[in-house]
């Protein structure tokens, strides 16, 4: 696409995001129910639960029927829908999310149906056993109710914001406070309209000119979103949610033009940032609805947050080679938590004269991700000492599953812990510590609060992550079996992703 060299992101990004504090204290992530509980209460809940496997297309919950258990989705994707509109899901449920908590609290039948999109594994926890334990142990009851209230209040706040947006309409356009955001929205939509018009009329010169205008309008919109909806912007969380939903309503038709934004927004694997979304970013190939959609995809692929995702591949390649150099010719053992497409490993193997020196273990819960990696492995020029394990890292971290591995020289995860709250990250750190040899290192990647696209990710494409800064990562390692702060913290070139490194 020769008509655009580089999107022009607003020069005030750094100023707008400088000095932001971590948002880690406002945590809502995967497996919130389990890891909001005291450890002894969590252990009881896990010991009481039973695993339930259901096949693709099976109905787990039927609207109007009584529910007798909590369900925590461990593997797979489920859809929520009304029976009259089975072809139009209301939402998706991904790993770590809870089903049935409203019926438990209210004592009422299910308000919607839940169906498995693919083979799913769940934890089933009967209501009657939970109530018996609550009667026996009032502290457990208070702990559980508090955890459920956090989940339900978060969901209610989001729904309230959406209802407010629907009832009040685009009122933010009538306020001076949000005038610059409204103007940025109008300019972006106008730029897309003009670009598409020149595409339809096959006016190449006009298309190239409009492409540059569209890139500038996109960059300015991101900047205004951060000013009005970012963590440091004025307003309550409820006000920001309401405003964010109004903005999302206006941008949804345009977001769907870009393959990257569309996939992030619709979440076909139940969460944003799945293996194929990341693989497509690594491929750096613009895909979209027509040339205008491809252009929007290209602009997105060159935005700071997506460039940060692409940059982490290079940074991890460097760290793997650093581990190989430290081994001084001895075989190196590396394990990857939530491996995704694992392109950094193939980059390393392609440069090694003797790939057998690097023995890797890749763990992921997503069978499709592992199949993707397996195909890459099979197509490689030589056999690779690469083991693939479909395992639930939560189970491994809690000791419910065992994986026999030799002492590891390096363990890393680059797209996982920003979905997890502090308690779960600490458990994952403990598990990494257990697997490492003395002197071995762990590397955890996390989005930093200075991410200039955080408001866009949070409110427009619903890619909500827990952003952490350097002190957050130090605190997490100090609270874990490592017992000390990070040895080093690196940033990729955009300084949007940090990588905390700790040695055993």
Which pLDDT value is given to residue 177? 75
Mark which of 165, 196, 217 sits at the end of a domain: 165
**Residue 209 belongs to some domain of the structure:** yes
Give the DSSP letter string of 120-179: EEEEEEEHHHHHHHHHH-HHHHHHHHHHHHHHHHHHHHHHHHHHHHHHH-SGGGGSGGGH
Whether residues 176 and 159 fall in one domain: no
H/E stretch holding 383: none
Whether residues 89 and 185 fall in one domain: no
Mark which of 121, 143, 165 sits at the end of a domain: 165
User: How far is it, in rounded angstroms, from Cα 138 to Cα 268?
Assistant: 40
Mark which of 258, 286, 305 sits at the end of a domain: 305
User: How far is it, in rounded angstroms, from Cα 181 to Cα 227?
Assistant: 9
Which pLDDT value is given to residue 336? 98
> Could you tell me which of 393, 423, 414 has the C-alpha nearest to residue 150?
423
Residue 106, domain CATH: 2.60.120.10
How open is the CA angle 417-422-424, to the nearest 5 degrees? Answer: 65
Q: Which two tokens stand for residue 464?
A: 């909500």
Whether residues 434 and 327 fall in one domain: yes
* Count: domains in the chain: 3
> Could you tell me which of 467, 444, 445, 473 has the C-alpha nearest to residue 454?
467
**Residue 499 belongs to some domain of the structure:** yes
**Residue 218 belongs to some domain of the structure:** yes
Per the DSSP assignment, residues forming a β-bridge with 92 are: 79
Whether residues 123 and 205 fall in one domain: no
DSSP label of 21 = P
> Could you tell me which of 127, 162, 96, 160 has the C-alpha nearest to residue 393?
96
**Residue 8 belongs to some domain of the structure:** no
Give the DSSP letter string of 64-131: TS---EEEEEEES-EEEE-GGGTTS-SEEE-TT-EESHHHHHH----SSEEEESS-EEEEEEEHHHHH
Q: State the burial class of residue 351 (Cβ atoms within 10 Å of its Cβ: 0-12, 13-18, 19+).
A: exposed
Whether residues 47 and 137 fall in one domain: yes
- Whether the CB-CB separation of 356 and 329 falls below 8 Å is answered with no
Query: pTM score, two decimals?
Result: 0.82
Q: State the burial class of residue 38 (Cβ atoms within 10 Å of its Cβ: 0-12, 13-18, 19+).
A: middle
Whether residues 244 and 97 fall in one domain: no
**Residue 131 belongs to some domain of the structure:** yes
Length reported for the chain: 504
Residue 486, domain CATH: 3.40.50.150
Q: What is the pLDDT along the chain (504 residues), one digit of tens a residue?
A: 333 333 344 434 333 334 444 444 445 556 777 777 788 888 888 888 888 888 888 889 888 888 898 888 888 888 888 766 666 677 778 777 888 888 888 888 888 888 888 888 888 989 999 899 889 998 888 888 887 877 766 665 555 555 555 555 555 665 657 889 999 999 999 999 999 999 999 999 999 999 999 999 999 999 999 999 999 999 888 888 888 988 998 998 998 899 999 999 888 887 788 999 999 999 999 999 999 999 999 999 999 999 999 999 999 999 999 999 999 999 999 999 999 999 999 999 999 999 999 999 999 988 899 999 999 999 999 999 999 999 989 889 988 889 999 999 999 999 899 988 898 899 999 999 999 999 999 999 999 999 999 999 999 998 989 999 999 999 999 999 999 999 999 999 999 999 999 999
**Number of C-beta neighbours around residue 350 at 10 A:** 11
**Residue 100 belongs to some domain of the structure:** yes
Per the DSSP assignment, residues forming a β-bridge with 499 are: 445, 490
Which pLDDT value is given to residue 171? 55
Report the sign of the C-alpha dihedral through residues 392, 393, 394, 396, in that order: positive
Whether residues 227 and 138 fall in one domain: no
Whether residues 63 and 101 fall in one domain: yes
Domain boundaries, position 430: 311-503
DSSP label of 7 = -
H/E stretch holding 195: helix 179-200
- Whether the CB-CB separation of 338 and 416 falls below 8 Å is answered with yes
Whether residues 37 and 185 fall in one domain: no
Which pLDDT value is given to residue 148? 80
DSSP label of 266 = H
Give the DSSP letter string of 410-454: EEEESSSGGGS-HHHHHHHHHHHHHHEEEEEEEEEEEE-TT-TTH
Which pLDDT value is given to residue 87? 63
Q: Which two tokens stand for residue 124?
A: 């089933």
> Could you tell me which of 417, 416, 424, 342 has the C-alpha nearest to residue 375?
342
Whether residues 375 and 436 fall in one domain: yes
**Residue 446 belongs to some domain of the structure:** yes
Which pLDDT value is given to residue 160? 55
Whether residues 449 and 361 fall in one domain: yes
**Residue 2 belongs to some domain of the structure:** no
Match 């490993």 to its residue by tokens: 345
User: How far is it, in rounded angstroms, from Cα 65 to Cα 83?
Assistant: 12
Which pLDDT value is given to residue 437? 97
Whether residues 242 and 370 fall in one domain: no
User: How far is it, in rounded angstroms, from Cα 94 to Cα 75?
Assistant: 8
């Amino acid at each position: 696409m020769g008509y655009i060299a580089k999107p022009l992101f607003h020069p005030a990004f750094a100023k707008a995001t400088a000095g932001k504090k971590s948002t880690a204290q406002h945590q809502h992530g995967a497996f919130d129910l389990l890891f909001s509980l005291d450890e002894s209460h969590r252990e009881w809940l896990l010991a009481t639960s039973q695993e339930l496997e259901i096949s693709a297309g099976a109905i787990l919950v039927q609207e109007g029927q009584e529910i007798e258990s909590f369900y925590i989705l461990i593997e797979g994707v489920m859809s929520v829908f009304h029976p009259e509109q089975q072809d139009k899901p209301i939402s998706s449920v991904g790993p770590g999310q809870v089903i049935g908590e409203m019926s438990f609290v209210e004592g009422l039948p299910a308000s919607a149906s839940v169906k498995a999109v693919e083979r799913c594994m769940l934890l089933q926890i009967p209501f009657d056993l939970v109530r018996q334990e609550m009667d026996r142990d009032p502290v457990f009851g208070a702990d559980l109710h508090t955890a459920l209230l956090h989940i339900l209040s978060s969901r209610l706040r989001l729904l309230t914001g959406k209802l407010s947006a629907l009832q009040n309409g685009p009122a933010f356009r009538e306020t001076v406070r949000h005038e610059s955001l409204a103007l940025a929205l109008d300019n972006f939509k106008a730029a897309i309209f003009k670009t598409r018009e020149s595409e339809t009329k096959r006016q190449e010169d006009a298309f190239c000119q409009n492409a540059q205008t569209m890139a500038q309008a996109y960059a300015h919109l991101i900047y205004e979103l951060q000013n009005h909806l970012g963590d440091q912007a004025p307003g309550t969380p409820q006000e920001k949610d309401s405003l964010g939903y109004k903005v999302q309503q206006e941008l949804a038709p345009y977001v769907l033009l870009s393959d990257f934004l569309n996939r992030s927004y619709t979440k076909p694997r139940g969460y944003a940032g799945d293996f194929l979304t990341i693989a497509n970013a690594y491929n750096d190939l613009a895909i979209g609805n027509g040339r205008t959609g491809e252009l929007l995809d290209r602009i997105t692929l060159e935005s700071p947050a997506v460039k940060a995702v692409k940059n982490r591949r290079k940074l991890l390649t460097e760290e793997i080679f650093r581990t190989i150099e430290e081994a001084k010719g001895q075989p190196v053992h590396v394990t990857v938590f939530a491996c995704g497409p694992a392109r950094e490993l193939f980059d390393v193997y392609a440069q090694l004269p003797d790939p057998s020196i690097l023995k890797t273990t890749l763990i992921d819960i997503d069978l499709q991700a592992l199949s993707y990696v397996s195909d890459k492995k099979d197509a490689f020029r030589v056999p690779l000492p690469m083991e693939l394990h479909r395992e639930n890292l939560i189970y491994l971290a809690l000791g419910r599953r065992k994986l026999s591995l030799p002492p590891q020289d390096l363990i890393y995860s680059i797209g996982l812990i920003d979905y997890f709250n502090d308690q779960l990250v600490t458990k994952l750190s403990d598990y990494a510590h257990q697997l490492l040899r003395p002197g071995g290192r762990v590397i955890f990647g996390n989005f930093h609060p200075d991410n200039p696209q955080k408001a866009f990710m949070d409110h427009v494409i619903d890619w909500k992550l827990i952003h952490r800064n350097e002190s957050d990562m130090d605190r997490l390692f100090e609270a874990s079996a490592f017992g000390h702060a990070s040895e080093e913290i690196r940033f990729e070139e955009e300084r949007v992703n940090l990588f905390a490194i700790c040695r055993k």
